[in-house]
Amino acid sequence: MKTAEQSQSPGPRGRNVVLIGMPGSGKSTVGVLLARRSGRGFIDTDLRIQQAEGMKLQQVLERRGLDGFRRLEEETLRALRAERCVIATGGSAVYSDAAMTHLRSLGPVVWLDCGVDTLRRRIGEGGQRGMVRRPGLSLEQLARERRPLYERWADLHIDASAGSAEEVAGEIQKLSGKAET
Ligand SMILES: Nc1ncnc2c1ncn2[C@@H]1O[C@H](COP(=O)(O)OP(=O)(O)O)[C@@H](O)[C@H]1O
Ligand SMILES: O=C(O)C1=C[C@@H](OP(=O)(O)O)[C@@H](O)[C@H](O)C1
Ligand SMILES: [Mg+2]
C-alpha cells in the first residue's frame, strides 16, 4: 500500500501527459476528456497564447506572421510549468526542439496520429483555422512534412481516428499509465 507521502508525490515527470499531432487530430477535445477521466488539470497551450496576447489565435498569427508565431509558441512552451496536467499543444509545437525537449521533461509525449482523410472530414482544408503553413501547401503536404517530427518526439503513438474522442482518451489513459509505471 502507498503511504500518504507517496500518493501525494507527483511521481515520474510530474505525471503530466503531453499531446502532439496535426490540427484536427483531437488534442484539445481528447485532452479535456482525458483530464477529466484521469483526475488531472488541463492546459491548452493555444489558449495560453490567446490569453497572454489578448486576441484570437488567428489574429496572433496574422499579426506576427508564421515565424513570429513560432517564436512566441516556443517561448510559451518553454515557460510552461505543470503538475498532474494534460497538456494539449498546437500542431506546430514540434518545430521547436527547445520547446519539445522541455515538454518531454514534463511527461510522456503522446502523438495523436490521424490520416489526412479524417483530418479533412473534421476541419476541411483548415483554411478557417490558424495554422503554421506556408502559402499553397495542402493539408496533405503539411502532414507529410511534419510526420517525421511527430515521430521523433513521440514517446507513445495512438491512432486518433479509431473511435470517439472518449475512446481515444481511454486508450491514452491505458498506454500512458503503463509508460509511467
Ligand atoms: N476521436 C474523434 N472522433 C470524432 N471527432 C473528433 C475526434 N477527436 C476530435 N474530433 C473533432 O475534430 C475537431 C478538431 O478537434 P480538436 O480537438 O480541435 O483538434 P486539435 O486540437 O488537435 O486541432 C473537433 O470538431 C472535434 O470535435
Ligand atoms: O498546426 C498548426 O500549425 C497550428 C495549430 C493550431 O492548434 P491545433 O493543432 O490545436 O489546431 C494552433 O496552434 C496554431 O494555429 C498553429
Ligand atoms: Mg487544439
Does 134 appear as a known binding residue? yes
Could you tell me where the beta strands, DSSP code E, fall in 12-117?
Answer: 17-20, 41-44, 85-88, 109-113
How sure is the predictor about 5, in pLDDT bands with cuts at 50, 70 and 90?
Answer: very low
Q: State how far the Cα of 19 lies from the Cα of 172, in Å rounded to an integer.
A: 10
pLDDT at 48 over 90: yes
- DSSP secondary structure string, 86-114? EEEPPTTGGG-HHHHHHHHHHS-EEEEE-
User: What average pLDDT is seen over the chain?
Assistant: 92
Residue 121: how many CB atoms within 10 A of its CB? 11
Instruction: Please tell me the residue having the least CA distance from ligand 2 atom 6.
Output: 90
pLDDT exceeds 60 at position 73: yes
pLDDT band at 7 (very low <50, low <70, confident <90, very high): very low
Domains and CATH numbers, the chain: 13-180 (3.40.50.300)
Instruction: Report pLDDT for 180.
Output: 57
pLDDT at 94: 98
Characterize 12-22 residue by residue with b for buried, 16 or more Cβ atoms within 10 angstroms of its Cβ, and e for exposed: ebebbbbbbbb
Q: Which residues surround ligand 3, an ion (CB under 5 A)?
A: 27-28
Cell 502559402 identifies what position?
135
d(CA 115, CA 117): 6
**Does any ligand 1 atom lie closer than 6 A to the CB of residue 120?**
no
CB distance 165 to ligand 1 below 6 Å: yes
pLDDT at 3 over 70: no
The answer, yes or no, to whether residue 177 has pLDDT greater than 80, is: no
